[in-house]
């Protein structure tokens, strides 16, 4: 067994415990990506299993992802430092060949997406996204309580959270 080789970005540190899906291992990580794509092509709601889940808020699926991360990885995400965002967490995917690809799991106005460095091949992005979202959706009732709020684009306060296993999103006007 050789040492893992990081490609398409930099791996700075890992946190929590690994989780595995479809032969791939995932870890929460501090990562550095050169020119992340910023594309919305690998969103949670595009995964085939998303439609069957009933406990995900319609406009803010990030609440569900934020509630799943501590249960899967033993790590509590920090509040995102970007305006109008709730999640901005690094991860690394470890392939069976010990090749590691870093990526970001973040939200764009409440919709969760994966961002990769620009030069990651599309087939690898798709494989990582499919496995990562399958892992997230593997046990939708296994969520951890939290609460967080931010201002949205319409001047509303949005509060996301999970209370007693119920994931929620609430918007209130700031008049």
Give per-residue pLDDT as tens, 135-170: 999 999 999 999 988 776 677 788 899 999 999 998
Per-domain residue ranges for the chain?
5-143
CA distance 34 to 10: 9
Where the chain has pLDDT below 50, the residues are: none
Say if residues 57 and 166 touch (Cβ distance below 8 Å): no
Q: Residue 155: what pLDDT?
A: 73
Give 51's DSSP letter: G
Say if residues 49 and 62 touch (Cβ distance below 8 Å): no
- The token pair that represents 52 in the structure block: 């069957």
Q: Residue 67: what pLDDT?
A: 96
Question: Which segments of 22-165 does DSSP mark as H helices, in order?
Answer: 62-73, 122-136
CA distances in angstroms from 161 to 79, 137, 138, 146, listed in the order given: 12, 17, 20, 5
Q: Residue 37: what pLDDT?
A: 58
Q: Residue 138: what pLDDT?
A: 95
Q: Residue 7: what pLDDT?
A: 94
Q: Residue 104: what pLDDT?
A: 94
What is the percent of the chain where pLDDT is above 70? 90
């Amino acid at each position: 067994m050789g040492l893992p080789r990081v490609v398409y970005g930099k791996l700075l540190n890992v946190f929590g415990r690994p989780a595995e899906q479809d032969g791939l291992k995932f870890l929460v990580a501090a990562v550095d990506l050169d020119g992340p794509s910023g594309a919305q092509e690998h969103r949670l709601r595009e995964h085939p299993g998303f439609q069957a889940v009933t406990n995900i808020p319609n406009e803010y699926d990030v609440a569900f992802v934020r509630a799943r991360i501590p249960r899967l990885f033993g790590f509590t995400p920090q509040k995102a430092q970007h305006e109008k965002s709730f999640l901005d967490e690094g991860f690394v995917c470890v392939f069976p060949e010990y090749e590691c690809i870093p990526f970001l799991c973040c939200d764009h106005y409440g919709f969760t997406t994966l961002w990769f460095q620009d030069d990651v091949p599309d087939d690898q992005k798709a494989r990582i996204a499919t496995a990562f979202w399958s892992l997230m959706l593997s046990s939708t009732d296994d969520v951890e309580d939290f609460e967080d709020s931010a201002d949205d684009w319409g001047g509303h306060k949005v509060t996301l959270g999970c209370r007693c296993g119920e994931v929620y999103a609430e918007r209130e006007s700031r008049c």
